Amino acid sequence: MTHSTSEKVVPSLRQGSFRRDGKTAVVTGGGSGIGRAIGVRFAAQGAKIHILDLNLKDAEGTCQQIAAAQGSAEAHVCDVTNQKQVIAAFQQLAAQGPISILVNNAGISHIGTVESTSEEDFDRVMRVNVKGFYNCALAVVSHMKSIGGVILNMASIAGSSGLADRFAYSVSKGAILAMTYSVARDYLAYNIRCNCISPARVHTPFVDGYLKNNYPGREQEIFDKLSKAQPLGRMGEPEEVAALALFLCSGEASFITGVDYLLDGGFINLRG
């Protein structure tokens, strides 16, 4: 008896929903901000979480938050720019069980134009924001090829929109868009989906630190100014990014791959 394509797809959608029971998710840069929110949200839906971060204390903080909510998580120190270290880490994790989800989130920001960006700073941003994503994708696809999986890259509106004084950062996030499309296309036959999320400003500890360091005594004033620059009149919250990430890594998104999702409060299409 033959089956139509729709008959094959519908059952997987029915058993998917947003639950990730029995799935293992690796979240890089999961010690704070968006990465922490994603780890917490995925764990709440039953996933086993591995938090990879340069800062073990921060990673353990995320794991403690997950454990307090009866979730399962482990913290690991990992420098995503070091390919040998990344591959070794993923081999260790895969030995515990199949890796179903990779969230490439670890990244750094930089402020400057092409003239004010030093070669050292440019290289540093590329190493973390581009090579780091490449290293993790490279390390995980060999494990996913036999079972399928999802790779979710954290991009930014900076990769598709002209933002002032964000030269190196914008270049790096534009590369993530291209990387997402390329990986999605190359691994269709292996049931590995790859998408990315492009947030606008999200209120994270990085934002608070940036304001404290650059606008001492004027933090609230500048915070309000940055918030009002977005059509919805506020910054996004890490939990809102995590909600979209969960959808894209769930069975409900099984027909979605090679897509960049804007999460920008109307910044791209509704300004001015």
Q: Is residue 22 part of a domain?
A: yes
The whole-number pLDDT of residue 71 equals 96
- Domain boundaries, position 157: 18-200+237-263
Averaged over 246-264, what is the pLDDT?
Answer: 97
In a shared domain, residues 127 and 161: yes
Q: What is the CA radius of gyration of the chain?
A: 19
Find the catalytic residue in 134, 169, 187, 261: 169
In a shared domain, residues 149 and 52: yes
Q: Is residue 6 part of a domain?
A: no
In a shared domain, residues 251 and 119: yes
Q: Is residue 26 part of a domain?
A: yes
Q: How high is the mean pLDDT of the chain?
A: 93
In a shared domain, residues 181 and 255: yes
Residue 12 confidence class, pLDDT cut points 50, 70, 90: very low
Q: What is the CATH number of the domain that holds 168?
A: 3.40.50.720
Averaged over 237-263, what is the pLDDT?
Answer: 97
Q: Is residue 4 part of a domain?
A: no
Q: Is residue 207 part of a domain?
A: yes
In a shared domain, residues 165 and 225: no
Averaged over 176-183, what is the pLDDT?
Answer: 98
The whole-number pLDDT of residue 271 equals 81
In a shared domain, residues 111 and 151: yes
pLDDT digits (tens, 9 = 90+) for 43-52: 999 999 999 9
Q: Is residue 5 part of a domain?
A: no
In a shared domain, residues 136 and 207: no
Q: pLDDT at residue 14 above 70?
A: no
pTM of the model: 0.92
In a shared domain, residues 146 and 160: yes
Token representation of residue 131: 């090579």
The whole-number pLDDT of residue 68 equals 97
Q: Is residue 114 part of a domain?
A: yes
The number of folded domains in the chain is 2
Residue 206 confidence class, pLDDT cut points 50, 70, 90: confident
In a shared domain, residues 167 and 38: yes
Is-catalytic flag, 169? yes
Q: What residues have CB less than 8 Å from 267, skipping those under 6 apart?
A: 157, 161, 200, 229, 230, 231
In a shared domain, residues 84 and 116: yes
Residue 214 confidence class, pLDDT cut points 50, 70, 90: confident
Residue with tokens 């996004």: 236
In a shared domain, residues 81 and 216: no
In a shared domain, residues 156 and 216: no
The whole-number pLDDT of residue 159 equals 96
Q: Is residue 8 part of a domain?
A: no
